[in-house]
Structure 1
Amino acid sequence: MTPMAWDTERTKALLLEAATSEFCTRGLAGARIDRIAAEAGVNKERIYQYFGNKNALFDTVIVTALSSLMDEVPIEGNGPEAMADYAGRLFDHHQKDATAPRLLFWEGLERGTEVVGLPKRMANCASKVNSTIAALPGVSREDAGDLLITIVSLCDAAPVLPALDGLMAGNDPGRAERRRAAVVRTVYLAAAALAAEAQEPAHSRA
């Protein structure tokens, strides 16, 4: 790799890191190119050169963050226990790093149903649904998708709704552990119900 190529990749990485922080804190509308460039220590013209504009930079940030999350927190094992374990590990991940929940919050708030990086994100989501079906044999694709969005909603809410969480359940030192236990328990019960339903004879479900 030539020095110029190395510098280009390093500059892109610095800009993405600064942009991720800016978008997580201020969203798409509130983010400023000048602040991102200053935080990265890079001329702002490089943002336009490498990413196009602020919207395109946000696209790159969210696709990159969500792709990393898919790899970092896989579904492992079989049965309702596997889905409950996945929920617990996803909750733990978001407690340490709230990047993905915050970006998804801003995306939903500012863009509604508009989805960036559609092919890649569709493939990632399909892979997660397939992993859920593998963990819960017989569960329909629709039910697997519903279970996954339930897990994501439960885990993503913790870092983006802290005030509401405190009002409803308190802010004692053990709150995070109690919230995690509630998420794991809820997901286990939901997954167990789906697994049991999937094993019922077709005529009894009609």
Structure 2
Amino acid sequence: MTLYGNVGSKEALFQAVVTEAKAEHADGIGLPGGDLADYVGRLYDFHRQHPVLLRLMLWEALYYGDRPVDDDPRRPSYRKKVEA
């Protein structure tokens, strides 16, 4: 059995990896609260200590260029952050 047989495609595999990294990010930082400066500080510290997510996002940007990510599973997470 191949790896792509489990996930369907290279894009699906990459999205699964990015989704997992985003979940770790959300667990490590949480949603923005009342103090925006505190949230930005936590965000900065997390990215300094865990650079993997930023690297994945840069690879994704290189791959997709200016095309939108199809069926981006991260949209609900981004909506929660915007609402918070």
Task: Quickly name the TM-score band, shorter chain normalised.
Answer: 0.7 to 0.9
In structure 1, the partner of 2:69 is 115
Per chain length, whose mean CA-contact separation is higher, i.e. which structure has more relative contact order (CA < 8 Å, sep 6+)? 2
Q: Is the 8 A contact 1:75 1:83 kept in 2?
A: no
How many correspondences in the alignment? 83
Partner secondary structure for residue 114 of structure 1: coil
Structure number with the higher helix fraction is: 1
Spell out, residue by residue over 1:79-116, the C-alpha distance to the aligned partner (whole angstroms, 9 max, x if none): xxx11111111111111111111111111122023215
Q: Is the 8 A contact 1:62 1:100 kept in 2?
A: yes
In structure 1, the partner of 2:79 is 126
Q: Is the 8 A contact 1:73 1:89 kept in 2?
A: yes
Alignment pair present for 1:89 and 2:42: yes
Alignment pair present for 1:101 and 2:57: no
- Percent of paired sites with the same residue: 34
**Correspondences of 1:140-159 after superposition (within 5 Å):** none
Measured after TM superposition, the shift of residue 49 of structure 1 is 2.5
Distance, in Å, in 2 between the alignment partners of 1:108 and 1:122 is 16
Spell out, residue by residue over 1:15-47, the C-alpha distance to the aligned partner (whole angstroms, 9 max, x if none): xxxxxxxxxxxxxxxxxxxxxxxxxxxxxx441
Greater CA deviation, 83-92 or 60-69?
60-69
TM-score, normalising length: structure 1: 0.37
Q: Is the 8 A contact 1:63 1:117 kept in 2?
A: no
Q: Is the 8 A contact 2:21 2:53 kept in 1?
A: yes
Q: What RMSD in Å do the two structures reach over aligned CA positions?
A: 1.9
Partner secondary structure for residue 75 of structure 1: coil
Any stretches of 5+ residues in structure 2 without a counterpart?
Answer: none
TM-score, normalising length: structure 2: 0.80
**Correspondences of 1:28-47 after superposition (within 5 Å):** 45-47=1-3
In structure 1, the partner of 2:11 is 55
Q: Hey, which bits of structure 1, 4+ residues long, moved more than 3 A?
A: none
Measured after TM superposition, the shift of residue 63 of structure 1 is 1.7
Taking structure 1 as reference, are residues 52 and 111 closer, same or farther at Cα in structure 2, changes over 3 Å only? Answer: same
Larger Rg: 1
